């Protein structure tokens, strides 16, 4: 079993929809949780960063961490075609190496 599991998708939604992306993990020592966005043929870029449990909001994006369930989510409100990308969750027990999910490919159509 992988340490981090993520549904690869693809997920196809109409413009304006609310998108929910999720990851589960097995290592209870994970404390740092991140979401990266990767456009086609580009490197991943940090989208959201959360320490321990709770919610964090940044514009149209909300990240949630539920450590009791070992489950993290990224919500995108009012999705736009420019949000079409692969979204990777990442997590770490300490401030060193990150363990990534395999990524969920999202397509938002007009």
Give the footprint of other proteins on this chain (CB under 8 A).
Answer: 32, 34, 41-46, 49, 88, 92, 95-103
The torsion angle over the Cα atoms of residues 98, 41, 48 and 28, rounded to 10 degrees, is: -30
Is the CB of 82 or the CB of 96 nearer to other proteins?
96
Look-up of token digits 């990266």: 36
The one-character DSSP state at 3 is S
Residue whose CB is less far from other proteins, 45 or 78: 45
Specify the residue, 18 or 46, whose C-beta has the smaller distance to other proteins: 46
Work out how close the CB of 95 gets to other proteins at its nearest, in angstroms, rounded to a whole number.
5
Q: Return the half-sphere exposure (C-beta side, CA atoms, 13 A cut-off) of residue 68.
A: 1
Q: Is there a contact between 62 and 75 (Cβ–Cβ < 8 Å)?
A: yes
Q: Which is nearer to other proteins, 44 or 76 (CB)?
A: 44
Minimum CB separation from other proteins for residue 34, in Å? 7
Residues 61, 65, 71, CA angle at the centre, nearest 5°?
115
Smallest distance from other proteins to CB 85, Å:
14
């Amino acid at each position: 079993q992988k340490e981090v599991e993520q549904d690869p998708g693809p997920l196809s939604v109409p413009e304006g929809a609310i998108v929910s992306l999720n990851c589960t993990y097995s290592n209870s020592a994970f404390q740092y949780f991140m979401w990266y966005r990767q456009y086609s043929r580009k490197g991943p870029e940090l989208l959201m960063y959360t320490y321990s449990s709770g919610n964090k909001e940044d514009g149209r994006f909300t990240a949630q961490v539920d450590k009791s369930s070992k489950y993290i989510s990224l919500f995108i409100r009012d999705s736009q075609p420019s949000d079409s990308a692969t979204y990777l969750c990442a997590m770490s027990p300490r401030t060193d190496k990150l363990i990534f999910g395999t990524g969920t490919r999202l397509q938002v159509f007009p």
